Amino acid sequence: MGIVHKYNGEEDAFDWEGVTEKLYQAADVKGTTAKVLIGPAEGAPHFRIRYFHIEPGGYTSLHRHPHDHGVFILHGRALVLLGNNEVELGPRDVVYIPGDEVHQFRAIGDEPVGFLCVIPAV
């Protein structure tokens, strides 16, 4: 049976019923939290949908891994590092990151950045 996580209705809250926020932990992370919107708890066997929130001046880890993923920017502005290239992103921009490519997201400006990230079940 399918599962629904209703949005809380507040425009800037980015909070869903039944979804808990976790600090995104790695040695080189600053001001980043994540929520698994669809994943093992919902019984999804093939993919994960996650929401990342990065405070102004914050960033995700600089890393690489075998799986690819897609990112959809919901709000704020970010710099994404893809290999040796940096690209500025804003709302509704979409990014594909192939497996084993070095990548990192950094919030730029005075507002937090939030994005959805879809990955295979890993």
CATH code of 97's domain: 2.60.120.10
> What's the pLDDT score for residue 92?
98
Residue 63 lies in a domain: yes
* Residues facing 14 on adjacent strands: none
- Residue 71 burial (10 A CB sphere; 0-12, 13-18, 19+): buried
Residue 87 lies in a domain: yes
Residue 9 lies in a domain: no
The residues that are catalytic are 117
- Residue 21: pLDDT band (50, 70, 90) is confident
Mean pLDDT on 35-47: 94
- Residue 51: pLDDT band (50, 70, 90) is very high
- pLDDT by residue (tens digit) across 93-116? 999 999 999 999 999 999 999 999
- pLDDT by residue (tens digit) across 80-96? 999 999 999 999 999 99
Domain count of the fold of the chain: 1
